[in-house]
């Protein structure tokens, strides 16, 4: 009975003739001991630096010597056949002039009785393989094993119990959408996740994991829905994203402003691109303080290249050819703003030689290159979320940010840049779960080229539709946001609220949660800020967002900026907005929130009674009268 088709080691038979096959490379030597074509033993040895510099003849000779030493117990007392793929070794016994090394080896071989035969390298595969790099014979297949427990949960799960039972009995459910494959329940090609903590773990990984970028609800839902399924998943994912503390703290605000002036629609990937710079980032150890952003206007794929603010046109051109042309070739057109880097004579001459027509944004219409501005804003959010408390290492996580951006669904195209360019999704770490999906007819597998062309044609049509929509909706305003007293909100701190020299592009942007005390006028709110915060407690409605999470969450006081608006001795107090009483060990003290003349409402500051007397004695005397008339909780600014 045949036990195995693959070669297995045979026991040596001393009544039969042994054969030794040897081979060598500059990495190592290898040999196989066999009888009648069946392997008896294997031998290999890695070469040190000195021996790796031997000539080919010496390497092959050394392999024979070491193999005979290793199998001395089998070969010393009987005749055997020595096979080598090096023709010159057939004449070992007839050499006249030997160097010291060869003389030593020939003397050793005289202890054995053997016949040398030449064996071509094509036939000497085993010994040849043993002499090569051992790590080339190893392939690593990383897998995630945390999904196995799902097999035991479907039968009792409240969401999938009935479907599981139907699939067991009928092969599928009544709708024909579900199927059991290798013990797992699938809806189409999406793995069904039973009601357990794995759902939140998957959302966390695809929203804020190492290869994700804390994208918004739409992109996170799209990434999860592509691979997994459970009932009401969109609602649960949206809630998770809204309550993400990192997103609430580090993401800036975005508002519609200005008209949208669309550029001509590109016809294929990396033919028309846009470029820009993100400047003013913290200087890293590698002396980077800026990012060179290059975006393909068709697929929306972006490359983020670290650079320096002082980089001249020559260096920027060098970066472009190393990081862009190397991957995508020369573009037909590019769009940039009126940056000195792009307007230099070098750029004009260089691109003219390459047949590229320069296309610059209109002087007073920055929306012309709005695509790159959107990418810049997304990159800013990505870096803040990924860099976290290490803003001076942002250049190390740029590749991570680039992968996350290009692996997320673009709202305009409805697909990821990777999918548009390659015709398929790029594997995520969660795809290394060891699962094989149910067989299905796939355009990617059957007609890859046609599929990619089809995808790109769909994208082209969506770009045309999107351009029309954007143009139509350009002047529409957002709906009015109204907060109620007592609402907990996150406050966006603009540059002027930070102490001088402490504001950075990667600094935390939002703080909170803070309670709204009252509405002031039509678009400002008074917040209950801690006494230690030196900035004005009045915020414009555009700088506030409703806090999602536990209303009892505390504020991280150490991270709050302590800057106060710089005041002059001649600044006049226009009115008192609010008043509060603080308690210290010396007793109770009144503080007044005052609005300054010729300053916006957000520059209101708290001053004590002595400061109020000094600056406006008449107003100080009228404090009691002002706050005793009408509702004592409604200061003048609240009307």
Q: Which helix (H) or strand (E) holds 318?
A: helix 313-320
Enumerate helices (H) and strands (E) in the chain, giving the number of each: 21, 22
* In contact, 432 and 144? CB cutoff 8 Å: yes
pLDDT-based confidence at residue 344 (cuts at 50, 70, 90): low
Q: Residue 328 — φ and ψ, nearest 5°?
A: -125, -5
* In contact, 150 and 194? CB cutoff 8 Å: yes
CATH 3.30.420.10 residue window(s) in the chain: 18-137, 272-431
CATH 2.40.50.40 residue window(s) in the chain: 568-639
Q: Is the pLDDT of residue 290 over 50?
A: yes
Burial 418-450 (b: 16+ CB within 10 A, else e): bbbbbbbbeebebeebebebeeeeeeeeeeeee
- 3-class SS of residue 11: coil
Peptide bond into 513 cis (omega under 30): yes
If one looks up domain 18-137 in CATH, what number appears? 3.30.420.10
**In this predicted structure, what is the pLDDT of residue 361?**
42
- The token pair that represents 159 in the structure block: 């969401």
- 3-class SS of residue 529: coil
Q: Which residue has tokens 């504001």?
A: 503
* In contact, 471 and 262? CB cutoff 8 Å: yes
pLDDT > 90: what percent of the chain? 5
If one looks up domain 568-639 in CATH, what number appears? 2.40.50.40
**pLDDT tens figures, 544-577:** 888 887 766 666 655 565 555 556 666 778 888 7
How is residue 543 annotated by DSSP? G
Of 64-68, 384-388, 493-497, minimum mean pLDDT range: 384-388
pLDDT-based confidence at residue 72 (cuts at 50, 70, 90): very high
Burial (CB count within 10 angstroms: exposed 0-12, middle 13-18, buried 19+), residue 169: exposed
Q: Who contacts 129 (Cβ-Cβ below 8 Å, separation ≥6)?
A: 30, 137
Q: Euclidean distance between the first and final Cα of the chain, in Å?
A: 98
For 272-431, CATH number out of 3.30.420.10, 3.40.50.1980, 3.40.50.300, 3.30.470.10 equals: 3.30.420.10
**Average pLDDT estimate for 421-439:** 68
CA 201 to chain centre: 18
**pLDDT tens figures, 223-253:** 888 888 999 898 888 888 888 877 777 665 5
**pLDDT tens figures, 585-621:** 777 778 888 887 766 665 677 777 888 877 887 787 7
Q: Is the pLDDT of residue 386 over 80?
A: no
**Average pLDDT estimate for 89-113:** 81
């Amino acid at each position: 009975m045949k036990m195995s088709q693959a070669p297995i080691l045979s026991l040596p038979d001393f009544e039969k003739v042994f054969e030794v096959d040897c081979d060598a490379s500059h990495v190592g030597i290898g040999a196989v001991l066999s009888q009648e074509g069946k392997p008896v033993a294997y031998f290999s040895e890695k070469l040190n630096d000195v021996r790796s510099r031997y000539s080919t003849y010496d390497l092959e000779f050394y392999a024979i010597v070491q193999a005979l030493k290793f199998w001395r117990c089998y070969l010393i007392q009987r005749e055997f056949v020595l096979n080598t793929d090096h023709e010159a070794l057939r004449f070992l016994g007839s050499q006249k002039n030997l160097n010291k090394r060869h003389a030593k080896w020939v003397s050793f071989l005289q202890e054995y009785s053997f016949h040398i035969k030449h064996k071509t390298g094509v036939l000497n595969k085993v010994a040849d393989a043993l002499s090569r790099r051992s790590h080339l014979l190893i392939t690593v297949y990383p897998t995630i094993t945390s999904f196995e427990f799902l097999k035991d949960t479907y039968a009792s799960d409240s969401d999938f119990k009935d479907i599981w039972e139907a699939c067991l009995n009928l092969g599928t459910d009544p709708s024909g959408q579900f199927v059991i494959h290798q013990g797992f329940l699938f809806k189409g090609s999406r793995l069904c996740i039973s009601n357990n903590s794995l759902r939140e773990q998957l959302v966390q990984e695809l929203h804020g994991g190492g290869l994700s970028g804390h994208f918004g609800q739409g992109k996170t839902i799209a990434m999860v829905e592509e691979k997994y399924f459970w009932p009401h998943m969109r609602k649960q994912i949206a809630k998770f994203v809204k309550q993400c503390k990192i997103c609430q703290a580090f993401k800036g605000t975005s508002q519609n402003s200005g008209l949208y002036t669309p550029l001509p629609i590109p016809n294929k990937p990396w033919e028309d691109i846009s470029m820009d710079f993100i400047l003013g980032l913290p200087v890293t150890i590698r002396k980077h303080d800026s990012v060179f952003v290059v975006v393909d206007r068709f697929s929306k794929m972006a490359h983020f290249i670290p650079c320096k603010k002082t980089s001249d046109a020559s260096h920027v051109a060098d970066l472009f050819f190393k990081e862009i042309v190397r991957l995508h070739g020369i573009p037909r057109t590019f769009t940039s703003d009126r940056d000195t880097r792009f307007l230099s004579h070098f750029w004009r001459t260089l691109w003219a030689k390459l047949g590229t027509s320069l296309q610059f944004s209109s002087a007073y219409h920055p929306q012309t290159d709005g695509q790159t501005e959107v990418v810049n804003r997304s990159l800013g959010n990505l870096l803040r979320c990924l860099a976290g408390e290490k803003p001076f290492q942002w250049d190390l996580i740029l590749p991570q940010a680039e992968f996350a951006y290009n692996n997320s669904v673009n709202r305009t195209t409805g697909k990821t840049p990777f999918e548009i360019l390659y015709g398929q999704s790029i594997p995520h770490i969660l795809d290394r779960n060891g699962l094989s999906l149910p067989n299905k007819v796939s355009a990617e597998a059957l007609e890859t080229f046609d599929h990619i062309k089809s995808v790109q044609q769909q994208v082209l049509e969506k770009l045309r539709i999107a351009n029309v929509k954007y143009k139509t909706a350009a002047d529409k305003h957002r709906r009015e946001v109204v907060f109620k007293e007592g609402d907990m909100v996150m406050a966006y701190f603009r540059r002027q609220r930070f102490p001088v020299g402490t504001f950075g592009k990667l600094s935390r942007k939002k703080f909170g949660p803070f309670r709204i005390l009252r509405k002031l006028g039509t678009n400002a709110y008074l917040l209950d800020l801690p006494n230690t915060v030196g900035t004005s407690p009045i915020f414009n409605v555009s700088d506030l967002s409703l806090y999602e999470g536990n209303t009892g969450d505390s504020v991280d006081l150490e991270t709050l900026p302590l800057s106060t608006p710089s005041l002059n001795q001649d600044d006049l107090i226009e009115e008192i907005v609010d008043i509060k009483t603080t308690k210290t060990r010396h007793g109770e003290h009144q503080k007044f929130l005052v609005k300054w003349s010729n300053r916006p409402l957000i520059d209101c500051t708290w001053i004590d009674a002595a400061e109020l007397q000094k600056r406006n004695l008449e107003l100080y005397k009228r404090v009691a009268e002002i706050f005793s008339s009408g509702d004592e909780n409604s200061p003048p600014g609240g009307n």
